[in-house]
Structure 1
């Protein structure tokens, strides 16, 4: 056969490997045998030989063997068109070829990429707060208690000399205790658990140099948040790693006051039994405001605190709801939130945790962690969300004498540690 290989390839690709005869569509590669076989045939529209079917034409011999003059058919329909050249004329076959190749092209053509939308420049507020200060040291000492004896250790702590706002997070690992309090001091709250003479100090940079040390440090910070929330009747759900409000009185809704983004005092439900609109009857579940609160390291000396609003569901304000149905309910509630509503919930949590102050402070005695309440903003150029056009105002709290004094005290704890150490020993 004199048809060039290039023309054969073009014909096979544009025909999609199926018979072009209208209504046939037979695949022209047979895979039924052990080895695939080609059963397609290339039929000339204008005959290859001038004395053959449809051969009378002024077309050159070269053009007769080009893909533009060929139609790919099964053996059956190749015979049909050649046996009836007056029915399947040059005009009919050219139209058949064009229609078939158009169908193949339409079925295999890639969709055009969508026209890019114009970008808008917006300030996107993250759900993260800046941690402006973390403890400088971890203290550790050998002890007689294992990892699962945390409750026994907690009962031995000396709380009588510890201010109410001071947090005592600790970890038990490999018969050692780890804490932010200075365990080398004889008057420290852990003195009944670990001998101060055996205690030692580890700089945070060294402690977090390996992944396990970093995990332990974050665990101590998260434990401090749990205690900070616990004082405010917010409980930790360990299974789902989220904090949730609990009722003040059994069987009654709970509300909390806070300052809105427009600096207006208001209140909202944080634990409630939803009512049916038609009858006012309580539904068979209770909703609790909840959030994932976590510390994250962003750089060598950069940390942030994230707030991810959630929902907690119970049967009666206390008993856990069937987990099989919780995910669907929570997803449905969160799906209705646009950015302003979501960030509004983040704002509520930062206001609640800080008491409406520019920051909240985790006090560890001689050390502190300080979390600023301004949401970290990022300038971005993006397509935006068409239906989400409501603006969000990032309320920044101003310092008063009390918050400024608390900041000065917390910031000075680490700086004055060596200076005050001798005084403490004299006492």
Structure 2
């Protein structure tokens, strides 16, 4: 059985802090250059100081316009993690991930601390290429779609595949990136849906999600994060954040459902052309198309 977290094999060993020339994070961000290739520029502005994984003493570095290099100070990560400011280190890790995912059309929603897929520029519906858990090619999966899009009266509800992605330290020096699939609903692909309309829809959807369907989504998100490669590497200056692509394994036994409506073994390699979770729909003999962002048969009232 796989766990829904990815091990971290490399993390920055040092952090720099320096006096900021600006009062807001937006002003700092405006002074940063466009990152080169896969480089990301995470930073935290706290009490008029900028914290970063980049060397802030470098007069030619990306933060040269935002900080006073003469005030820069190097802080060892091990010492920072033992101090009252340890959250700064975690904030920097999460900031690096946000920067990397935004380039790939995934935005972070701060209120619920989750990432969600943005629609394509041309259309609301968005598909993403992926492979099965055993490495076979499969058709692109829908990660954004409008509810009722196949009917004559589509609704003002868009479903977005989303996830909570968090860097967490499980034991001293042992870190992982946890993956928790979720949903994000909007009324036009951008603006969040009224919260009063969200609860019932999401509750009903999650109530029909079994373990295998859940882990299908976890594997799909892993494939996207790693872009099909063996690991995710985020360069931060001369340092690196490296997330390994193999889930840790543990022994476990799937609960059995005796009425034969659910067989997890049959869903290990979903090849459905539409969505990540359609194999689950087949096993449950549901009438509606079932996926991340699926249509609902109930009225939206």
TM range (shorter): 0.7 to 0.9
- The CA distance in 2 between the partners of 1:371 and 1:153, in whole Å, is 27
Residue 133 of structure 1 pairs with residue 10 of structure 2:
yes
- In the alignment, the residues of structure 2 paired with residue 143 and residue 276 of structure 1 have an alpha-carbon distance, to the nearest angstrom, of 49
What runs of 5+ residues in structure 2 fail to find an aligned partner? 270-301
Relative distance call for 1:276 and 1:257 in structure 2 (3 A) is closer
Matched, 1:390 2:267: no
Q: What secondary structure does 1:292 align onto?
A: strand
TM-score by length of 2: 0.82
CA deviations over 1:89-134 (Å, ceiling 9, x no partner): xxxxxxxxxxxxxxxxxxxxxxxxxxxxxxxxxxx32111100111
| 1:157-176 to 2 correspondences below 5 Å | 157-159=32-34, 162-176=35-49
- Gap runs ≥5 in structure 1: 1-123, 395-427
- Of residues 130, 134, 155, the one that matches 2:30 is 155
Contact 2:21–2:68 (Cα < 8 Å) also in 1: no
Give me the whole-angstrom Cα distance separating, in 1, the residues matched to 2:126 and 2:93: 28
1:424 corresponds to which residue? none
Per-residue CA distance 1:140-195 (angstroms, 9 max, x = gap): 1122334xx00101111233xx4131100001111111000111212111111212
**What CA distance in whole angstroms lies between the structure 1 residues aligned with 2:52 and 2:268?**
39
TM-score w.r.t. structure 1 length? 0.59
- After superposition, residues 52-201 of structure 1 pair within 5 angstroms as 124-146=1-23, 149-159=24-34, 162-201=35-74
The aligned counterpart of 2:145 is 272
Q: Distance in 2 between matches of 1:274 and 1:264?
A: 29
Q: CA deviation at 1:389?
A: 4.6
| Contact residue 251 and residue 317 of structure 1 kept, 8 A | no
In 2, the alpha carbon distance for the partners of 1:377 and 1:281 equals 46
Per the TM alignment, residue 283 of structure 1 is displaced from its structure 2 partner at its CA by 2.8
Give, in angstroms, the shift of residue 243 of structure 1: 0.6
Secondary structure, aligned partner of 1:207: helix
| Distance change (3 Å), C-alpha of 1:331 and 1:154 | same
Q: Equivalent residue of 1:377, what SS? A: coil
Q: Go from structure 1 to structure 2 and tell me whether the alpha carbon gap of 1:283 and 1:154 turns closer, same or farther (over 3 Å shift).
A: same
Q: CA RMSD in A?
A: 1.9
User: Does 2:130 align with 1:258?
Assistant: yes
Shift of 1:271: 0.6
- The answer to whether the 8 Å contact 2:44/2:50 transfers is yes
Deviations, residues 44-87 of structure 1 (Å, cap 9, x unaligned): xxxxxxxxxxxxxxxxxxxxxxxxxxxxxxxxxxxxxxxxxxxx
The residue number in structure 1 matching 2:113 is 241
| Aligned mates of 1:280, 1:261 — CA distance in 2 | 36
1:329 deviates by 0.9
| Counterpart contact for 1:234–1:246, Cα < 8 Å | yes
The CA deviation at 1:334 is 1.7
Cα distance in 2 for partners of 1:131, 1:227 equals 18
- Structure exhibiting the larger radius of gyration computed from Cα positions: 1
Shift of residue 276 of structure 1?
7.3
Matched, 1:205 2:82: no
Number of aligned positions between the proteins: 263
The one of 212, 228, 231 equivalent to 1:340 is: 212
Partner of 1:349: 221
SS at the partner of 1:125? coil
Question: In 2, distance between residues paired with 1:186 and 1:319?
Answer: 41
Cα separation, 1, equivalents of 2:121 and 2:149: 22
Structure with the bigger percentage of helix: 1
For residues 363-417 of structure 1, give each alpha carbon's deviation from its aligned partner in whole angstroms, at most 9, with x where no partner exists. Answer: 102001000111122224x6x42226514869xxxxxxxxxxxxxxxxxxxxxxx
**CA contact 1:145–1:172 (8 Å) conserved in 2:** no
